[in-house]
């Protein structure tokens, strides 16, 4: 089975599993059982960073803090010895670690993260390898011509896909946080973004950097979010995913009227 057919099979399996009406006896449904068996037999790649109190973040936000949650009446931290459980109080900005940027992040009237449809959380995944241009331009911004060259090799970017930009910046996340936060950095060009959404009809995009592009006015990110689309920032392990044929699953907590939050993304390989 070639990668394109395999990708479609996995995608259809997921769609069947997620959207077919349940009867309370889904395990007895042969199609759902086969879908689950297919999915569980596939290799999966985590596209999400582990984050903590010292991981990279924009200086305007600052580092997160973590502390033991306390009884609001006594202010005593809960412990397993005394209370039978423990839990953590997290204080951080929504755009922390691998995270989702919904339209509301930049648009007063934009869709918030809790309103993004479930159907937009599972998609065919295409990966553009920006690293091939670094010998001549270490901060290359992916162009429309680059995408067309990819399509000449792999076929058209499928409608409804998630388009990811591989830059290998994720490798600096833990080893060299200062380098990870460098500016400029490899990015998307605005024309490439418009081509993907307007001509190819992708659902969302993602990248390894903290931002979408290196313009002072954040042209690409502004265009994406004000056009009603979402993006995933600070992705990882895109070098371990094929250029086409995989399926991506991405989700996040359902924060009421949320403007962004850490997300969990993973790829199912063909």
Answer yes or no: do 175 and 196 share one domain: yes
Q: Is the pLDDT of residue 23 over 60?
A: no
Q: What is the rounded distance in angstroms from the CA atom of residue 106 to the CA atom of residue 103? A: 6
pLDDT (mean) for 17-41: 69
Q: What is the rounded distance in angstroms from the CA atom of residue 120 to the CA atom of residue 2? A: 25
Answer yes or no: do 168 and 197 share one domain: yes
Q: What is the rounded distance in angstroms from the CA atom of residue 83 to the CA atom of residue 172? A: 40
Answer yes or no: do 149 and 216 share one domain: yes
CA-wise closest residue to 174 among 252, 234, 113, 111: 234
The pLDDT tens digits for 159-210 are 999 999 999 999 999 999 999 999 999 999 999 999 999 999 999 999 999 9
Domain span holding position 32 = 1-42
pLDDT band, residue 26 (cuts 50/70/90): very low
Answer yes or no: do 120 and 252 share one domain: yes
Answer yes or no: do 132 and 201 share one domain: yes
Sort 163 into a burial class: Cβ within 10 Å, 0-12 / 13-18 / 19+: buried
Answer yes or no: do 156 and 70 share one domain: no
- Report whether the peptide linkage leading into residue 184 is cis, meaning its omega lies within 30 degrees of zero: yes
Contact (CB, 8 A) for 63 and 56 = no
pLDDT band, residue 22 (cuts 50/70/90): very low
Contact (CB, 8 A) for 244 and 155 = yes
Q: Is the pLDDT of residue 5 over 60?
A: no
pLDDT (mean) for 50-74: 97
Q: What is the rounded distance in angstroms from the CA atom of residue 57 to the CA atom of residue 63? A: 7
**Between 14 and 141, the higher pLDDT residue:** 141
Could you give the C-alpha distances from 117 to 113, 163, 255, 266, in angstroms and in order? Answer: 9, 18, 14, 18
Answer yes or no: do 72 and 99 share one domain: no
**Between 149 and 26, the higher pLDDT residue:** 149
Give pTM, 2 decimals: 0.89
Share the mean pLDDT of the chain: 92
Contact (CB, 8 A) for 57 and 93 = yes
Answer yes or no: do 166 and 231 share one domain: yes
Return the bridge partners of 262, or none: 99
Instruction: Identify the three-state secondary structure at position 192.
Output: helix
The pLDDT tens digits for 63-117 are 999 999 999 999 999 999 999 999 999 999 999 999 999 999 999 999 999 999 9
Number of domains within the chain = 3
Q: What is the CATH number of the domain that holds 208?
A: 3.50.30.50
Answer yes or no: do 197 and 87 share one domain: no
Task: Kindly report which listed range (24-28, 177-181, 261-265) carries the lowest average pLDDT score.
Answer: 24-28
Answer yes or no: do 27 and 73 share one domain: no
State the pLDDT at residue 12: 54
Answer yes or no: do 66 and 139 share one domain: no
Answer yes or no: do 163 and 83 share one domain: no
The pLDDT tens digits for 200-259 are 999 999 999 999 999 999 999 999 999 999 999 999 999 999 999 999 999 999 999 999
Could you give the C-alpha distances from 151 to 61, 160, 262, in angstroms and in order? Answer: 38, 16, 31
pLDDT band, residue 30 (cuts 50/70/90): confident
pLDDT band, residue 10 (cuts 50/70/90): low
């Amino acid at each position: 089975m070639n990668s394109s057919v395999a990708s479609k099979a996995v995608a259809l399996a997921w769609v069947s599993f997620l959207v077919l009406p349940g009867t309370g006896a889904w395990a007895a449904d042969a199609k759902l059982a086969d879908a689950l068996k297919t999915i569980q037999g596939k290799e999966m790649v985590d596209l999400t960073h582990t984050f903590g109190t010292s991981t990279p973040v924009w200086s305007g936000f600052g580092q997160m803090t973590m502390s033991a949650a306390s009884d609001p009446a006594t202010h005593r931290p809960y412990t397993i010895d005394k209370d039978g459980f423990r839990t953590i109080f997290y204080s951080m900005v929504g755009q922390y670690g691998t995270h989702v940027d919904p339209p509301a992040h930049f648009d007063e009237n934009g869709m918030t993260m809790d309103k993004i449809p479930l159907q937009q959380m599972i998609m065919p995944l295409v990966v553009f390898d920006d690293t091939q241009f670094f010998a001549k331009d270490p901060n290359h911004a992916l162009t429309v011509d680059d995408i067309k060259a990819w399509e000449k090799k792999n076929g058209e970017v499928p409608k409804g896909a998630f388009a990811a930009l591989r830059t290998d910046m994720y490798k600096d996340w833990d080893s060299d946080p200062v380098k990870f936060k460098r500016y400029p950095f490899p990015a998307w060009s605005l024309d490439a973004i418009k081509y993907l959404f307007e001509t190819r009809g992708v659902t969302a995009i993602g990248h390894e950097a903290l931002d979408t592009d290196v313009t002072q006015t954040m042209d690409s990110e502004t265009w994406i979010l004000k056009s009603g689309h979402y993006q995933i920032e600070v992705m990882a392990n895109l070098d371990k995913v094929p250029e086409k044929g995989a399926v991506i699953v991405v989700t996040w907590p359902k924060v009421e009227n949320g403007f962004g939050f850490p997300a969990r993304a993973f790829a199912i390989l063909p």
